[in-house]
Amino acid sequence: MSAHGLYTWHYREEYGILNETAAFDREFNNNVKQQGDRPHMHVGWVSGAPYAYALLAYGRKHGISRYIQAAHSVLSKVASGIAPNGTFWASWIVGKGWTTGWNPKSDWLQARTIAEATLFMIRALVLEQSYGDQHKDWEQAVLSNLDFAEAHQREDGNFGSYYHCESGRVEEWDGAGGMLWIAALLEGAQLFGNSDYKEAAVAGGAYYKSFIINEYIYGAPEDVHLTPTSEDAYNAVVSYVLLYEHDKQNKWLDLAKSAADWMMTFRWTYNLDFPKFSFLGQYDFKSRGADQASTSNQHLHNYGLFCVPEMLRLWRYSGDDYYKDRTRDHIACFLQFVAREDGDFNAYKGMVTERFYNTNCFQPKGMMLTLSHAWCVGLVLYASQEAMAYAADLDLPL
Protein backbone atom coordinates (compact mmCIF):
# COMPACT_ATOMS: atom_id res chain seq x y z
CA MET A 1 0.00 0.00 0.00
CA SER A 2 2.77 2.49 0.84
CA ALA A 3 4.52 1.84 -2.49
CA HIS A 4 1.23 2.50 -4.25
CA GLY A 5 0.73 5.66 -2.21
CA LEU A 6 4.20 7.04 -2.86
CA TYR A 7 3.97 6.42 -6.58
CA THR A 8 0.33 7.42 -7.09
CA TRP A 9 0.06 10.53 -4.92
CA HIS A 10 3.59 11.89 -4.72
CA TYR A 11 5.44 11.06 -7.93
CA ARG A 12 5.23 13.79 -10.59
CA GLU A 13 6.46 12.31 -13.84
CA GLU A 14 6.50 15.63 -15.67
CA TYR A 15 9.04 17.04 -13.20
CA GLY A 16 10.81 13.90 -12.02
CA ILE A 17 10.10 14.71 -8.36
CA LEU A 18 8.28 13.38 -5.33
CA ASN A 19 5.75 16.00 -4.24
CA GLU A 20 6.37 16.76 -0.59
CA THR A 21 2.65 16.73 0.23
CA ALA A 22 -0.60 15.42 -1.21
CA ALA A 23 -4.01 16.40 0.18
CA PHE A 24 -6.33 13.73 1.56
CA ASP A 25 -9.37 15.63 0.29
CA ARG A 26 -8.93 15.75 -3.48
CA GLU A 27 -12.12 17.74 -4.08
CA PHE A 28 -11.00 20.45 -1.67
CA ASN A 29 -7.55 20.31 -3.22
CA ASN A 30 -9.03 21.02 -6.66
CA ASN A 31 -11.02 23.94 -5.26
CA VAL A 32 -7.93 25.61 -3.82
CA LYS A 33 -5.88 25.29 -7.03
CA GLN A 34 -3.97 22.19 -5.89
CA GLN A 35 -2.46 23.99 -2.89
CA GLY A 36 -2.73 20.85 -0.80
CA ASP A 37 -0.24 19.22 -3.15
CA ARG A 38 3.17 20.85 -2.67
CA PRO A 39 5.16 20.51 -5.90
CA HIS A 40 8.48 20.87 -4.11
CA MET A 41 11.15 18.25 -3.51
CA HIS A 42 13.97 18.35 -1.02
CA VAL A 43 16.81 16.04 -2.08
CA GLY A 44 16.77 14.41 1.36
CA TRP A 45 14.91 14.76 4.64
CA VAL A 46 11.24 15.42 3.69
CA SER A 47 11.41 14.10 0.14
CA GLY A 48 13.88 13.00 -2.51
CA ALA A 49 16.54 10.32 -2.52
CA PRO A 50 15.68 8.25 0.60
CA TYR A 51 12.14 7.59 -0.56
CA ALA A 52 13.05 7.12 -4.20
CA TYR A 53 15.49 4.49 -2.93
CA ALA A 54 12.70 2.76 -0.99
CA LEU A 55 10.49 2.76 -4.10
CA LEU A 56 13.38 1.46 -6.20
CA ALA A 57 14.09 -1.38 -3.78
CA TYR A 58 10.42 -2.38 -3.76
CA GLY A 59 10.16 -2.12 -7.53
CA ARG A 60 13.29 -4.20 -8.07
CA LYS A 61 12.22 -6.89 -5.61
CA HIS A 62 8.76 -7.25 -7.10
CA GLY A 63 9.60 -6.52 -10.74
CA ILE A 64 7.33 -3.46 -11.01
CA SER A 65 8.77 -1.43 -13.86
CA ARG A 66 6.76 1.74 -13.26
CA TYR A 67 8.16 2.00 -9.73
CA ILE A 68 11.70 1.40 -10.98
CA GLN A 69 11.32 4.04 -13.70
CA ALA A 70 9.84 6.56 -11.28
CA ALA A 71 12.68 6.01 -8.79
CA HIS A 72 15.27 6.35 -11.54
CA SER A 73 13.68 9.61 -12.62
CA VAL A 74 13.75 11.08 -9.11
CA LEU A 75 17.31 9.93 -8.38
CA SER A 76 18.51 11.34 -11.69
CA LYS A 77 16.77 14.62 -10.85
CA VAL A 78 18.61 14.74 -7.52
CA ALA A 79 21.91 13.95 -9.25
CA SER A 80 21.38 16.83 -11.66
CA GLY A 81 21.09 19.39 -8.87
CA ILE A 82 24.69 20.24 -8.03
CA ALA A 83 25.22 23.72 -6.59
CA PRO A 84 28.27 25.86 -7.49
CA ASN A 85 29.99 24.72 -4.28
CA GLY A 86 29.88 21.06 -5.40
CA THR A 87 27.14 19.78 -3.06
CA PHE A 88 23.55 19.01 -3.86
CA TRP A 89 21.10 21.84 -3.86
CA ALA A 90 18.63 21.34 -1.02
CA SER A 91 15.34 21.50 -2.91
CA TRP A 92 13.61 21.92 -6.24
CA ILE A 93 10.44 24.00 -6.62
CA VAL A 94 8.12 24.26 -9.61
CA GLY A 95 8.61 27.66 -11.21
CA LYS A 96 11.86 28.33 -9.35
CA GLY A 97 14.10 25.34 -9.96
CA TRP A 98 16.89 24.49 -7.53
CA THR A 99 16.93 26.34 -4.20
CA THR A 100 18.73 26.21 -0.85
CA GLY A 101 15.80 24.97 1.25
CA TRP A 102 14.39 26.23 4.55
CA ASN A 103 17.47 27.78 6.12
CA PRO A 104 18.19 30.94 8.13
CA LYS A 105 19.80 32.57 5.08
CA SER A 106 18.91 32.17 1.42
CA ASP A 107 22.45 31.32 0.34
CA TRP A 108 23.04 28.62 2.98
CA LEU A 109 22.80 24.88 2.43
CA GLN A 110 22.29 22.58 5.39
CA ALA A 111 24.65 19.65 5.95
CA ARG A 112 22.13 17.04 7.11
CA THR A 113 19.83 17.40 4.09
CA ILE A 114 22.78 17.03 1.73
CA ALA A 115 24.43 14.18 3.64
CA GLU A 116 21.17 12.22 3.79
CA ALA A 117 20.66 12.59 0.05
CA THR A 118 24.24 11.45 -0.53
CA LEU A 119 23.81 8.41 1.74
CA PHE A 120 20.73 7.16 -0.09
CA MET A 121 22.16 7.90 -3.51
CA ILE A 122 25.02 5.59 -2.48
CA ARG A 123 22.56 2.92 -1.37
CA ALA A 124 20.71 3.25 -4.67
CA LEU A 125 23.98 2.81 -6.58
CA VAL A 126 24.81 -0.33 -4.60
CA LEU A 127 21.33 -1.71 -5.23
CA GLU A 128 21.53 -0.98 -8.95
CA GLN A 129 24.95 -2.60 -9.24
CA SER A 130 23.48 -5.78 -7.78
CA TYR A 131 21.11 -5.80 -10.77
CA GLY A 132 23.93 -5.08 -13.21
CA ASP A 133 23.02 -1.41 -13.81
CA GLN A 134 25.39 1.55 -13.70
CA HIS A 135 24.49 5.24 -13.31
CA LYS A 136 27.52 7.40 -13.99
CA ASP A 137 25.63 10.63 -13.37
CA TRP A 138 24.66 9.41 -9.90
CA GLU A 139 28.25 8.37 -9.20
CA GLN A 140 29.65 11.75 -10.23
CA ALA A 141 27.13 13.59 -8.06
CA VAL A 142 27.87 11.39 -5.04
CA LEU A 143 31.64 11.78 -5.43
CA SER A 144 31.27 15.55 -5.67
CA ASN A 145 29.44 15.59 -2.33
CA LEU A 146 31.78 13.17 -0.57
CA ASP A 147 34.83 15.09 -1.76
CA PHE A 148 33.24 18.32 -0.51
CA ALA A 149 32.60 16.87 2.95
CA GLU A 150 36.15 15.56 3.24
CA ALA A 151 37.70 18.80 1.99
CA HIS A 152 35.68 21.05 4.30
CA GLN A 153 36.05 19.00 7.47
CA ARG A 154 37.78 20.91 10.25
CA GLU A 155 40.92 19.48 11.85
CA ASP A 156 38.96 18.40 14.93
CA GLY A 157 36.54 16.36 12.78
CA ASN A 158 33.64 18.83 12.60
CA PHE A 159 31.95 18.85 9.18
CA GLY A 160 30.06 22.07 9.84
CA SER A 161 26.30 22.55 9.74
CA TYR A 162 25.70 25.14 7.01
CA TYR A 163 27.61 25.92 3.81
CA HIS A 164 27.56 28.85 1.40
CA CYS A 165 25.92 27.58 -1.76
CA GLU A 166 28.46 29.26 -4.05
CA SER A 167 31.80 29.44 -2.25
CA GLY A 168 31.32 26.34 -0.10
CA ARG A 169 32.54 28.24 2.95
CA VAL A 170 31.30 26.78 6.23
CA GLU A 171 28.91 29.43 7.54
CA GLU A 172 27.91 27.69 10.78
CA TRP A 173 30.09 25.30 12.78
CA ASP A 174 27.73 24.94 15.73
CA GLY A 175 25.51 21.89 16.10
CA ALA A 176 25.55 18.31 14.88
CA GLY A 177 23.92 18.93 11.51
CA GLY A 178 26.94 17.42 9.79
CA MET A 179 26.92 14.17 11.76
CA LEU A 180 25.27 12.13 9.00
CA TRP A 181 28.32 12.69 6.78
CA ILE A 182 29.85 9.90 8.90
CA ALA A 183 27.41 7.37 7.46
CA ALA A 184 27.64 8.71 3.92
CA LEU A 185 31.44 8.66 3.96
CA LEU A 186 31.62 5.13 5.38
CA GLU A 187 29.26 3.71 2.79
CA GLY A 188 30.91 5.80 0.10
CA ALA A 189 34.32 4.45 1.12
CA GLN A 190 33.06 0.92 0.65
CA LEU A 191 31.46 1.67 -2.71
CA PHE A 192 34.40 3.58 -4.19
CA GLY A 193 37.29 1.93 -2.30
CA ASN A 194 38.48 5.24 -0.88
CA SER A 195 40.20 4.93 2.52
CA ASP A 196 40.34 8.72 2.91
CA TYR A 197 36.59 8.75 3.30
CA LYS A 198 36.89 6.23 6.15
CA GLU A 199 39.45 8.39 7.92
CA ALA A 200 37.20 11.44 7.62
CA ALA A 201 34.26 9.45 9.02
CA VAL A 202 36.27 8.21 12.00
CA ALA A 203 37.47 11.75 12.73
CA GLY A 204 33.86 12.88 12.57
CA GLY A 205 32.87 10.15 15.00
CA ALA A 206 35.49 11.35 17.46
CA TYR A 207 34.22 14.94 17.19
CA TYR A 208 30.47 14.35 17.45
CA LYS A 209 30.69 11.90 20.36
CA SER A 210 30.59 14.82 22.79
CA PHE A 211 27.02 15.60 21.69
CA ILE A 212 25.99 12.08 22.65
CA ILE A 213 27.94 12.02 25.91
CA ASN A 214 26.43 15.39 26.89
CA GLU A 215 22.95 14.12 25.90
CA TYR A 216 22.38 17.27 23.87
CA ILE A 217 22.31 16.56 20.13
CA TYR A 218 20.97 19.34 17.95
CA GLY A 219 20.97 20.81 14.45
CA ALA A 220 19.49 18.08 12.21
CA PRO A 221 16.32 19.58 10.63
CA GLU A 222 16.34 22.66 8.42
CA ASP A 223 13.13 24.05 9.89
CA VAL A 224 14.17 24.33 13.57
CA HIS A 225 17.59 25.95 13.57
CA LEU A 226 20.05 24.39 16.05
CA THR A 227 17.32 22.81 18.17
CA PRO A 228 17.47 19.32 19.74
CA THR A 229 15.10 16.97 17.92
CA SER A 230 14.33 13.29 17.63
CA GLU A 231 15.91 13.44 14.17
CA ASP A 232 19.28 14.20 15.74
CA ALA A 233 19.00 10.94 17.65
CA TYR A 234 18.18 8.95 14.52
CA ASN A 235 21.21 10.34 12.71
CA ALA A 236 23.44 9.50 15.67
CA VAL A 237 22.20 5.91 15.83
CA VAL A 238 22.82 5.38 12.12
CA SER A 239 26.26 6.98 12.19
CA TYR A 240 27.61 5.18 15.25
CA VAL A 241 26.24 1.76 14.32
CA LEU A 242 28.06 2.14 11.00
CA LEU A 243 31.23 3.22 12.80
CA TYR A 244 31.03 0.09 14.94
CA GLU A 245 30.59 -2.03 11.85
CA HIS A 246 33.61 -0.35 10.31
CA ASP A 247 36.19 -1.42 12.94
CA LYS A 248 34.22 -3.25 15.70
CA GLN A 249 35.54 -0.93 18.41
CA ASN A 250 33.28 -1.07 21.46
CA LYS A 251 33.51 2.67 21.99
CA TRP A 252 31.34 3.15 18.90
CA LEU A 253 28.86 0.52 20.07
CA ASP A 254 28.60 2.24 23.44
CA LEU A 255 27.93 5.56 21.74
CA ALA A 256 25.32 3.98 19.46
CA LYS A 257 23.54 2.58 22.52
CA SER A 258 23.70 5.95 24.27
CA ALA A 259 22.27 7.65 21.18
CA ALA A 260 19.46 5.09 21.07
CA ASP A 261 18.76 5.64 24.77
CA TRP A 262 18.56 9.40 24.22
CA MET A 263 16.24 8.75 21.28
CA MET A 264 13.86 6.99 23.65
CA THR A 265 13.33 10.23 25.56
CA PHE A 266 11.16 11.27 22.59
CA ARG A 267 9.27 7.96 22.45
CA TRP A 268 5.90 7.19 24.00
CA THR A 269 5.88 4.10 26.22
CA TYR A 270 2.13 4.16 26.84
CA ASN A 271 -1.13 4.85 25.03
CA LEU A 272 -2.55 8.33 25.39
CA ASP A 273 -6.16 8.91 26.37
CA PHE A 274 -7.54 10.94 23.47
CA PRO A 275 -10.83 12.85 23.75
CA LYS A 276 -13.73 10.47 23.14
CA PHE A 277 -15.12 12.16 20.05
CA SER A 278 -11.78 13.22 18.54
CA PHE A 279 -10.58 11.53 15.38
CA LEU A 280 -7.77 9.59 17.09
CA GLY A 281 -10.10 8.73 19.95
CA GLN A 282 -12.70 7.29 17.61
CA TYR A 283 -10.08 5.24 15.78
CA ASP A 284 -8.53 4.12 19.09
CA PHE A 285 -5.07 5.22 17.96
CA LYS A 286 -2.35 3.60 20.07
CA SER A 287 0.42 6.10 20.75
CA ARG A 288 2.85 3.59 22.26
CA GLY A 289 5.95 3.60 20.07
CA ALA A 290 5.41 7.04 18.56
CA ASP A 291 8.00 9.81 18.83
CA GLN A 292 7.46 13.48 19.53
CA ALA A 293 9.18 15.37 16.73
CA SER A 294 10.77 18.00 18.97
CA THR A 295 9.99 20.64 21.55
CA SER A 296 9.39 23.03 18.64
CA ASN A 297 7.12 20.64 16.76
CA GLN A 298 4.97 18.96 19.38
CA HIS A 299 3.22 16.24 17.45
CA LEU A 300 3.86 12.53 17.00
CA HIS A 301 5.73 11.49 13.86
CA ASN A 302 7.25 8.41 12.22
CA TYR A 303 10.74 9.63 11.29
CA GLY A 304 12.24 7.05 13.64
CA LEU A 305 11.56 4.51 10.89
CA PHE A 306 14.66 6.04 9.27
CA CYS A 307 16.94 4.09 11.60
CA VAL A 308 15.01 0.81 11.82
CA PRO A 309 17.75 -1.30 10.16
CA GLU A 310 20.47 0.17 12.36
CA MET A 311 18.35 -0.23 15.50
CA LEU A 312 17.76 -3.89 14.72
CA ARG A 313 21.44 -4.45 14.07
CA LEU A 314 22.18 -2.62 17.33
CA TRP A 315 19.90 -5.12 19.07
CA ARG A 316 21.88 -7.99 17.59
CA TYR A 317 25.27 -6.45 18.43
CA SER A 318 24.32 -5.51 21.99
CA GLY A 319 22.20 -8.54 22.79
CA ASP A 320 19.73 -6.20 24.51
CA ASP A 321 16.11 -6.98 23.63
CA TYR A 322 15.10 -3.49 24.70
CA TYR A 323 16.24 -2.11 21.33
CA LYS A 324 14.28 -4.74 19.42
CA ASP A 325 11.14 -4.22 21.48
CA ARG A 326 11.17 -0.44 21.19
CA THR A 327 11.78 -0.68 17.45
CA ARG A 328 8.89 -3.10 17.15
CA ASP A 329 6.70 -0.60 19.03
CA HIS A 330 7.67 2.15 16.60
CA ILE A 331 6.94 0.11 13.49
CA ALA A 332 3.65 -1.19 14.90
CA CYS A 333 2.52 2.31 15.82
CA PHE A 334 2.89 3.61 12.29
CA LEU A 335 1.34 0.65 10.56
CA GLN A 336 -1.94 1.81 12.13
CA PHE A 337 -2.61 4.61 9.67
CA VAL A 338 -1.66 3.60 6.13
CA ALA A 339 -4.82 4.00 4.06
CA ARG A 340 -5.93 0.52 2.99
CA GLU A 341 -8.31 1.74 0.32
CA ASP A 342 -9.73 5.01 -0.96
CA GLY A 343 -11.82 6.52 1.81
CA ASP A 344 -9.97 4.87 4.70
CA PHE A 345 -9.82 7.60 7.41
CA ASN A 346 -10.88 10.00 4.61
CA ALA A 347 -7.60 9.47 2.76
CA TYR A 348 -6.76 7.70 -0.48
CA LYS A 349 -5.09 4.30 -0.72
CA GLY A 350 -1.48 4.39 0.47
CA MET A 351 -1.55 7.88 1.99
CA VAL A 352 0.21 8.52 5.31
CA THR A 353 -0.05 11.65 7.44
CA GLU A 354 2.86 13.56 8.99
CA ARG A 355 1.20 14.63 12.23
CA PHE A 356 -0.76 12.97 14.99
CA TYR A 357 -1.69 15.68 17.49
CA ASN A 358 -0.97 14.40 20.99
CA THR A 359 -1.41 17.74 22.73
CA ASN A 360 -3.02 21.12 22.06
CA CYS A 361 -0.20 22.40 19.86
CA PHE A 362 -1.03 23.48 16.28
CA GLN A 363 -4.35 21.59 16.50
CA PRO A 364 -6.50 20.19 19.32
CA LYS A 365 -5.40 16.91 20.87
CA GLY A 366 -6.78 13.95 18.98
CA MET A 367 -6.73 15.47 15.49
CA MET A 368 -4.64 14.32 12.55
CA LEU A 369 -3.14 16.41 9.74
CA THR A 370 -5.00 15.61 6.52
CA LEU A 371 -1.96 15.75 4.27
CA SER A 372 0.08 12.81 3.07
CA HIS A 373 3.83 13.48 3.14
CA ALA A 374 6.37 11.83 0.85
CA TRP A 375 8.72 11.13 3.73
CA CYS A 376 6.01 9.55 5.88
CA VAL A 377 4.86 7.21 3.12
CA GLY A 378 8.45 6.57 2.07
CA LEU A 379 9.65 5.68 5.55
CA VAL A 380 6.85 3.17 6.08
CA LEU A 381 7.91 1.56 2.80
CA TYR A 382 11.60 1.71 3.68
CA ALA A 383 11.30 0.37 7.23
CA SER A 384 8.88 -2.40 6.29
CA GLN A 385 11.30 -3.71 3.69
CA GLU A 386 14.31 -3.43 5.98
CA ALA A 387 12.47 -5.17 8.83
CA MET A 388 11.56 -8.19 6.70
CA ALA A 389 14.88 -9.82 7.57
CA TYR A 390 13.77 -9.80 11.22
CA ALA A 391 10.12 -10.69 10.57
CA ALA A 392 10.12 -13.79 12.76
CA ASP A 393 11.52 -11.85 15.72
CA LEU A 394 9.24 -8.84 15.28
CA ASP A 395 6.02 -10.72 14.56
CA LEU A 396 4.46 -7.82 12.67
CA PRO A 397 2.24 -7.71 9.55
CA LEU A 398 4.97 -6.26 7.31
Give the pLDDT means over successive 10-residue stretches in the chain (398 positions).
97 98 92 85 98 98 98 98 98 97 97 98 98 98 98 98 98 98 98 98 98 98 95 98 98 98 98 98 98 96 98 98 98 98 98 98 97 98 98 92
**CB–CB of 191/127 below 8 Å?**
no
CB count within 10 Å of CB 104 equals: 12
Task: List the one residue out of 361, 356, 219, 229 whose CA is nearest residue 304.
Answer: 229
Region of 65 please: left (phi>0), alpha (psi -120 to 50) or beta: alpha
Spatial CB neighbours of 85, under 8 Å, sequence gap ≥ 6:
109, 148, 163, 164, 165, 166, 167, 168
- pLDDT at position 31 is 76
- pLDDT at position 30 is 82
What are the start-end ranges of the H helices in 63-135? 65-80, 111-130
Report which residue type is found at 63.
G
Task: List the one residue out of 48, 105, 55 whose CA is nearest residue 76.
Answer: 48
Spatial distance between the Cα atoms of 296 and 71, rounded to a whole number of angstroms: 32
- pLDDT at position 51 is 98
- What's this model's pTM, rounded to 2 decimal places? 0.98
| Three-point CA angle 382, 366, 271, nearest 5° | 70
What are the start-end ranges of the H helices in 169-275? 181-192, 195-213, 230-247, 250-263
Spatial CB neighbours of 316, under 8 Å, sequence gap ≥ 6:
none
DSSP 89: P
**CB–CB of 178/160 below 8 Å?**
yes
- pLDDT at position 29 is 86
Please say whether the dihedral angle defined by the alpha carbons of residues 5, 117, 19 and 69, taken in this order, is positive or negative: negative
- pLDDT at position 32 is 73
